[in-house]
Amino acid sequence: MAGLARPAPIAIISALHDELRALLPLLREPRPVALGGRTFHVGEIHGEPVVLVLSGIGKVAAASTAVLLMHAFGARALLFTGVAGGLGDGVAVGDVVVASELLQHDMDASPLFPRFEVPLTGRARFAADAGLGAALAAAARRCLERADATIGAAHLARFGIDAARVHRGLVISGDRFIASQAHSDELRALLPDALAVEMEGAAVAQACADFERPFAVLRTVSDRADANAHVDFSAFIVEVASVYTHAIVDEWLRHAPHG
């Protein structure tokens, strides 16, 4: 009916072109909107209003993108998708991590504030939305059960992926690509409950906290955050992570309660 307000959209953010490219075929009646040096793709997925966007890499890029989505598009919830390095025991290449909370591992304003605490907020950890996380984890488990068909046995074997699992817990973020055993060991010692490390999620978490919007972070583990982290990274994005992202988002929104 004319005069009814259009529901506020769900925003889905990608850091890399291949990750966004995998989601665009899901979008019905896409409409590009240029704003803030980015192209926002507005449309619907399974009847759900959605905005897809490429943020670029790093915390500033992610936070500014999140703010634009909430302020200019009125996004009611945000999802950041992409890859991460595995830190936790049992977090293997090809696994999926859904964040329950996020922390900036390179935030250090000590001695004025405790290490990792975001100044003037009184906290270091930002909780992701439990409902969104549960729905995404359930969708991820269903997709991983059919990974042989979705990804293909040859691609799974190439990257040594066997019986991939879904994990939920702490994801940490910082403006550095972790690609040394020494640095990953240091992070494990400082933050022993961290499951994975990436470069954007905690910045989105802080921005969403300011706007009081629910958010989720979904990451496919591409490496173990060590000296081999760069090996076949681009191929993994194309052949595994982007395929996972497409399948999980499709599954999630297919079963999402609309409105």
Residues labelled catalytic: 19, 223
Q: How far apart are CA 102 and CA 141, in angstroms?
A: 21
> Exposed e or buried b for every residue in 216-229, given b needs 16+ CB within 10 A?
bbbbbbbbbbbeeb
Q: How far apart are CA 241 and CA 18, in angstroms?
A: 9
Q: How far apart are CA 42 and CA 75, in angstroms?
A: 11
Neighbouring CB atoms inside 10 A of 203's CB total 26
Instruction: State the DSSP code for 123.
Output: B
Comparing C-alpha atoms, which of 242, 171, 179, 170 is closest to residue 201?
171
Q: How far apart are CA 76 and CA 73, in angstroms?
A: 9
Q: How far apart are CA 180 and CA 8, in angstroms?
A: 42
Give the pair of three-digit tokens for residue 174: 């910082």
Q: What is the end-to-end Cα distance of the chain in Å, rounded?
A: 15
